[in-house]
Structure 1
Amino acid sequence: MLPWKRVLRPLAALILTAAVATVPAAAAHAADTGPSWGSPRSSEAESGGGWNDFSCKPSADHPRPVVLVHGTLGNSVDNWLSLAPYLKDRGYCVFSLDYGQLTGVPIFYGLGPIDKSAGQLSAFVDKVLAATGAAKADLVGHSQGGMMPRYYLKFLGGAAKVNALVGLAPDNHGATLSGLTDLLPYFPGAADLIKATTPGLADQMPGSDFLTKLNAGGDTVPGVHYTVISTKYDEVATPWQSQYLSGSDVHNVLLQDLCSLDLSEHVAIGLFDRIAFHEVANALDPAHATATTCASAFS
């Protein structure tokens, strides 16, 4: 391994951890009764990029709307400034939502209880289907956004309304932050504080009650096509192999098998990696899929 890679990966994980550490302080600014879990913004984010257009009608070539589900500390705009236009330019009706808001914590979402976030996703999908007239939607999620929808599919009736779930670096079996979560027992009260103030983070820790329930009885549900796109340089959902799903209708993909030069880590895979985006497009329209290679970065 090159020396700079040894430095950058732990550094990136440390930066992410530091960002997470600021959230409890912000949450403490909320009501004295404790944290409350917000509902989606009254008017969905105006991206300025042409998505979240509820007058959009799916075409015959792309008959299902695509709902983008942001990751932890993300939101409906920032997470999708590259992928949403990429899909819209290819003829899709594209939508994105905010979920998992904490009162008093703006912009950084995906921090509330994940089962409640799945309920927000359910309501948003219903809204999209009603507006577009489509029978089913496709979901594309980054990080928690690739894992959380599985709760919707499994427990909230989502399987009847969703054709495919595509996860970009989804923490399907937990996020260890390159092993940093293993250090929590050495800091008495730290785990309890995280659970009390940012339950969405606690739910993503390996072995949590939420993940135990989510993965009991199998990773998938019948009738939904699953794709997982991972990078071996991931420093959040580690080990990266834990992102993979098991099931009869699952396609697990490692970016470096498609392009060995791709150095994207956990954040980049969702924000601007067009090689990953090309594989997302293949998953959404497998009948017209084309080979994903390093050249896909320029397509």
Structure 2
Amino acid sequence: MAASGLVATGTAAAAPAKKYPVSWDFRSAIPSALQQTVDPNWAPPGANDPSCRLTKERPNPVVLLNATATTQWAYNAGAPYLANNGYCVYTFNYGNITPIPTFPIQGLADIERSGREISRQIDRILRRTGAKKVDLVGWSQGGGLLPHYYIDFLGGDKKVDKLIGIAPGNHGSTGDMLTYVRYFIPPFGPVGYEIFKALFPAFAQQAQYSDLVRKVYGNGDTKPGPHYTTIVTKYDEIATPFTNGFLEGDNVTNILLQEDCPVDLSEHLSINFSERTWRHVKNALTPAEATPVPCFQVDPFYPGMSEGR
């Protein structure tokens, strides 16, 4: 069952001195993707700030893991929003299948290899900050199969306090039924799928019933230690069926955005650039400060889409 994820309110931490602009529109991230391509030190506003200091109220670094076929630019809204609320936010790229380190389309490599990449990055962040654990917030692959593999098989259960998945690719996806195309017109469907799998391993590994999905979720959805939160939309057209995003376990909070807000029309793209989503993320990161998430219209793809603007 989906839950609201709302608990009692508490005293908020002091607001940071510096405020970053937040744009709840994925189109604002497009220039950032281009900027990242030419600047190897680029990070979204509010992320990777060497002056940020952990506090008693926010003792864990918040590590943002991007979706398949994206990089750090995916958090052009989430990173500044969290930084403005006093969190130390960290981003990095992973899963690059090109020789260009700043290529803006990554997260495509073998997920087990990417798991080892993020393991090294998380260890680096823990050493830099002196923290004992991190909180992971991830979109799609970054909130689903990848962090679950890290937690289950690379010792992440000892280093992760909370995992918050935004439209997470848990239990594999049918890709709006596209994964079944591989069974069409033998032998061309299967051959084409094997070529696609060799070129873009992460896509195939996230397909429902893949070997990696069976390996990661076959013995249960969670491990003792971390608390898991899923934030899911019933209009997801990529991580399908959307119910696969939910987890089972005593240490789980499942949130369906439409349960208390039918005018939230987020789909797989806009969910990561929605203010409602990130209010839920903040509540999950700091439950003692949680406040009700108001209901307001969220359009698919970008603001104004429903009105044809």
TM-score bin, normalised by smaller chain: 0.7 to 0.9
Number of residue equivalences: 254
Structure 1 residues 295 and 121, CA gap change in structure 2 (3 angstroms): same
Match of 1:27 in 2: none
Structure in which a larger fraction of residues adopt helix: 1
How far residue 45 of structure 1 moved from its aligned partner, in angstroms, is 4.3
Letter in 1 for 2:62: V
Match of 1:294 in 2: 295
Which sections of structure 1, spanning at least 5 residues, go unmatched?
1-40
Match of 2:106 in 1: 109
Partners of 2:88 and 2:60 in 1: how far apart? 8
- CA offsets 1:219-264 (integer angstroms, 9 cap, x no match): 1000100000000100001110011111110001100113211111
Partners of 2:44 and 2:239 in 1: how far apart? 31
Structure 1 residues 235 and 296, CA gap change in structure 2 (3 angstroms): closer
Partners of 1:151 and 1:48 in 2: how far apart? 26
How far residue 174 of structure 1 moved from its aligned partner, in angstroms, is 1.1
Q: Work out which of the residue numbers 261, 267, 270 in structure 1 matches 2:269.
A: 267
Partners of 1:232 and 1:277 in 2: how far apart? 17
Partners of 2:133 and 2:194 in 1: how far apart? 39
Instruction: Give the secondary-structure state (helix, strand or coil) at the position aligned to 1:139.
Output: strand
With CA pairs under 8 Å and 6+ residues apart, which has the higher RCO, 1 or 2? 2
Partners of 2:212 and 2:44 in 1: how far apart? 35
RMSD: 1.8
Partners of 1:283 and 1:45 in 2: how far apart? 29
Structure 1 residues 64 and 238, CA gap change in structure 2 (3 angstroms): same
Question: Structure 1 vs Structure 2: percent identity of aligned residues?
Answer: 43
Letter in 2 for 1:144: Q
Q: Work out which of the residue numbers 174, 177, 181 in structure 1 matches 2:172.
A: 174
- CA offsets 1:154-213 (integer angstroms, 9 cap, x no match): 100011111000000001111212111111211241211122111111111111111110
The question of 1:85 aligning with 2:86 is answered no
Partners of 1:246 and 1:44 in 2: how far apart? 39
Partners of 1:60 and 1:295 in 2: how far apart? 32
Runs of 4+ in 1 over 4 A off after TM superposition: none
Letter in 1 for 2:57: D
Kindly indicate whether the alpha-carbon contact (under 8 Å) linking 2:71 and 2:104 is maintained by their aligned counterparts in 1. yes
How far residue 288 of structure 1 moved from its aligned partner, in angstroms, is 1.3
Partners of 1:122 and 1:50 in 2: how far apart? 22
How far residue 295 of structure 1 moved from its aligned partner, in angstroms, is 5.3
Match of 1:17 in 2: none
Partners of 1:44 and 1:52 in 2: how far apart? 13
Partners of 1:130 and 1:279 in 2: how far apart? 28
Partners of 1:140 and 1:109 in 2: how far apart? 17
- CA offsets 1:88-142 (integer angstroms, 9 cap, x no match): 0000000011111002572111100001111111111111111111111100000
